[in-house]
A and B are shown apart, each in its own frame.
Chain A
Amino acid sequence: MESSIVMTGLANVLTLTNFAAIFGGILLGLFVGAMPGLSATMALALLLPLTFNMDTGTGLSMLASLYVGASYGGSIAAILLRTPGTPSAAATVLDGFPMSQQGQAGKALGISLFASFIGGTISGIALLLAAPLLGSIVVEFGPLELFAIAVLGITIIGSLAQGSVINGLFSGLVGLLISTVGMDLTTGTPRMAFGNINLFSGISFTVALIGLFSIPQALSLIENSHGAAKVASRITDRLIPKFSELKTLMPNILRSSGIGVVVGLIPGTGGDTASWFAYNEAKRFAKDKSRFGNGDPAGVAAPEAANNAVVGGALIPTIALGIPGSSATAILLGALMVQGILPGPNLLTDYGDVTYTLIWAVIFANVGLLGVGLMFTKASVAVTRIPDGFIACAIIALCIIGAYAINNSLFEVGLMLGFGLFGYWLAKAGVSPAPMVIGLILGPVMENAFHQSMLIGNDDFRIFLSSPIAVVLLCIAVFSVLQATPVFRWLLAPIRRRTRAA
């Protein structure tokens, strides 16, 4: 049965329509990633409404491909403009831009492309192998374990998100609070609807997503649009690196890919963490460390392999546990929700064919990235010349039509703008919106699991201690919060003092 679902997923992807969707998604991701100021998450949020009318497999293939394309696309601006196109390409600037200044822009882009392809493919294969292993464990999960997983998801993402742990948890809990708006399924009571029928069905996750991730970026682009034209380095050398160069870089690429997969597994960490970690390790293992920061190809290969490897890694907890590992995977989960597929550990069991379609789409997207990247990298340089002011207005216009496309409701478009303004405020306050989006997704799951658990336990909270798995997960949740607070540093201080004295 297991292998038949895997092959069903493969068969779903192997259609002309899905190949076209993968090609389109990679190209779009390449262009979006290449433009500084835009992010893969924003593009995914804007593309999500388009996938409503598509076949589930096609929609997921397109979204996954966009994610993969943007992970590489960020390196184009990093190498040519000295500005990372996406946060995960920040480390690529250090050696990528110096290489372009030395007339090796093509070589840098080629190494980035091949490293991204290898890293992404390895993570896709890791996803294919690991997801069913985890799936066989989580099939035993009941409401107690589901509740514990949801709590763990929120606390890990909240404690590891940018800024302080207070900021991250605040964002996550506001998301959980907002998820209670609407009709309570148990009692039929409308909560926080204020008699407005538009709020009876709650706040659409997609509306909040588009608002929180796209509008703040558009507003930020306007804020900083001072008319200074972006000058990109020219590509004068060949894109395809020599086989001998790739062979020399292979140990670095393989190590960085492993780092990317492992970092992606941890909810709350993403391409930016993985790329810096991989860069530092590449420097540590380098024979001549002085070349780093001055145009060492290893300094381009490491972060790019890692940030593409994060894609598959981040999908492992998303698919196996139903906990989105990042805001981008939260959107992929949202795409499943839009198709009526609820997040949770049952993704692999009850919706195995759709889930494996997504997994195979990630693998094929990475393979497709190589071809599309070789053909269109030079074309994507032209995209970087589009003025920021125009891009900002275009994003706002697309957000409005995208939000309208969800339920044909101008109320929801207004709500989207409200979330957009709130997201802009969060950005100014240094609070990440990612935990809030994850709170919106996990809120209903957490509430249902909580009610079911309390029914099982006859309203006794000690029911959560009756499951060893739930206890372990809740302890990890508490630990993840404590490790980011002064309490942990205070507890470790005597050990650190002893170590220093020794």
Chain B
Amino acid sequence: MNKNRLALGLFGMALAATFFVNAQGYPEAAAQMPMIYSVMVGLLSLAMVCSELRLRQVASRREAEGPVVPEEGEDRASPRYAVTAAVFALAVAYVATISTLGYLLSTTLFMAGALVLIRTVSVRFSVIGSAVLMAVVCLVFIHFLGLAVPFLPSAIS
């Protein structure tokens, strides 16, 4: 059973319910499509949940019939979920600090922090690579596109 798919189905039902309830307060013309879509999303979410529960039932019936022999395969390293979550949290912090710390400092801190967490990139490559990346971003987005991003900390600029 795929727990993520089961959770997604439950989320879909909640999303559909939210849109449906909100749509009831709109004028008829504005409410039509959201209500149609939310009903369909709700039904498909329910189908998703039911199919996952059915798969779970089938799997537990098979287990009851006899133990499942695990397939022989390569030893795979386990996925690094904690590091992934930490880097994503860093990305959120990065966005939150762009306006106060400035693009340059917040990007440097994000790249440094993320690469330290990931640990599989050498220090030399990290420094050179990050410098090249920021140079390319400054050239393309700030110089070429004229993007008005706060470059330096708000206290200094």
A189 in contact with B145 given A173-B41, A389-B115, A397-B110 (CB within 8 Å): no
Residues of chain A lying within 8 A (CB to CB) of residue B119: 227, 389
Residues of chain A lying within 8 A (CB to CB) of residue B95: 400, 410, 413-414, 417
By the criterion CB–CB under 8 Å, are B44 and A166 in contact? yes
Q: Does A450 contact B (CB under 8 A)?
A: yes
In angstroms, Cα B40 to Cα A446, docked, is 15
Q: Does A4 contact B (CB under 8 A)?
A: no
Q: What is the CB-to-nearest-CB distance from B121 to chain A, in angstroms, rounded to a whole number?
A: 5
In angstroms, Cα B148 to Cα A408, docked, is 7
Residues of chain A lying within 8 A (CB to CB) of residue B19: 177, 180, 192
In angstroms, Cα B147 to Cα A390, docked, is 25
By the criterion CB–CB under 8 Å, are B118 and A225 in contact? yes
In angstroms, Cα B5 to Cα A430, docked, is 7
By the criterion CB–CB under 8 Å, are A223 and B33 in contact? no
A-B contact count (CB 8 A): 177
By the criterion CB–CB under 8 Å, are A410 and B99 in contact? yes
Q: Which of A187, A219, A227, A405 contacts B88 (CB 8 A)?
A: A219
Q: What is the CB-to-nearest-CB distance from A480 to chain B, in angstroms, rounded to a whole number?
A: 15
Q: What is the CB-to-nearest-CB distance from B123 to chain A, in angstroms, rounded to a whole number?
A: 12
By the criterion CB–CB under 8 Å, are B141 and A405 in contact? yes
Q: What is the CB-to-nearest-CB distance from B84 to chain A, in angstroms, rounded to a whole number?
A: 5
Q: Which residues 26-46 of B sit at the A interface, judged by CB distance below 8 A?
A: 26-27, 29-30, 32-34, 37-38, 40-41, 44-45
By the criterion CB–CB under 8 Å, are B145 and A53 in contact? yes
A225 in contact with B37 given A173-B44, A393-B110, A417-B92 (CB within 8 Å): no
By the criterion CB–CB under 8 Å, are A226 and B77 in contact? yes
Q: Does A281 contact B (CB under 8 A)?
A: no
By the criterion CB–CB under 8 Å, are A389 and B120 in contact? yes
Pick the most buried of B83, B91, B103: most chain A CB atoms within 10 A of its CB: B91
By the criterion CB–CB under 8 Å, are A223 and B81 in contact? yes
Residues of chain A lying within 8 A (CB to CB) of residue B110: 393, 396-397
Nearest A residue to B111 via CB reads A393
By the criterion CB–CB under 8 Å, are A177 and B51 in contact? no
Q: Which of A176, A186, A223, A426 contacts B30 (CB 8 A)?
A: A186
Q: Does A174 contact B (CB under 8 A)?
A: yes
Q: What is the CB-to-nearest-CB distance from A160 to chain B, in angstroms, rounded to a whole number?
A: 16
Report the interface size class on chain B: 35 or more
Q: Which of B40, B133, B145 contacts A173 (CB 8 A)?
A: B40
Residues of chain A lying within 8 A (CB to CB) of residue B58: none
Q: What is the CB-to-nearest-CB distance from B52 to chain A, in angstroms, rounded to a whole number?
A: 9
In angstroms, Cα B41 to Cα A443, docked, is 14
By the criterion CB–CB under 8 Å, are B115 and A393 in contact? yes
Q: Which residues 102-132 of B sit at the A interface, judged by CB distance below 8 A?
A: 103, 107, 110-111, 114-115, 118-122, 125-126, 129
Q: What is the CB-to-nearest-CB distance from A284 to chain B, in angstroms, rounded to a whole number?
A: 30
Nearest B residue to A431 via CB reads B8
By the criterion CB–CB under 8 Å, are A426 and B8 in contact? yes
Residues of chain A lying within 8 A (CB to CB) of residue B140: 50
Q: Does B61 contact A (CB under 8 A)?
A: no
Q: Does A253 contact B (CB under 8 A)?
A: no
By the criterion CB–CB under 8 Å, are A170 and B44 in contact? yes
Q: What is the CB-to-nearest-CB distance from A57 to chain B, in angstroms, rounded to a whole number?
A: 18
Residues of B in contact with A (beta carbons under 8 Å apart): 2, 4-5, 7-8, 12, 15-16, 19, 22-23, 26-27, 29-30, 32-34, 37-38, 40-41, 44-45, 47-48, 51, 77, 79-81, 83-84, 87-88, 91-92, 94-95, 98-99, 103, 107, 110-111, 114-115, 118-122, 125-126, 129, 133, 137, 140-141, 144-149
Residues of A in contact with B (beta carbons under 8 Å apart): 50, 52-53, 164, 166-167, 169-170, 173-174, 176-177, 180, 184, 186-187, 189, 191-192, 219, 222-227, 386-390, 392-394, 396-398, 400-402, 404-405, 408, 410, 413-414, 417, 421, 425-426, 428-431, 443, 446-447, 450-451
9 new A-B contacts, CB < 8 A, other than A50-B141, A390-B125, are: A191-B34, A219-B84, A227-B119, A387-B125, A392-B87, A393-B115, A396-B114, A398-B133, A417-B92
Q: Which 8 A-B pairs rank lowest in CB-CB distance, beginning with the nearest?
A: A227-B120, A389-B118, A184-B30, A428-B4, A429-B5, A429-B4, A189-B30, A177-B37
- What are 26 residue pairs bridging A and B, where the CB atoms are less than 8 Å apart in the complex? A50-B141, A169-B40, A170-B45, A177-B37, A180-B33, A187-B27, A187-B30, A189-B27, A191-B22, A219-B84, A223-B80, A223-B83, A224-B80, A225-B120, A386-B129, A393-B114, A393-B118, A400-B94, A402-B141, A404-B149, A405-B145, A405-B147, A410-B98, A410-B99, A429-B2, A450-B32
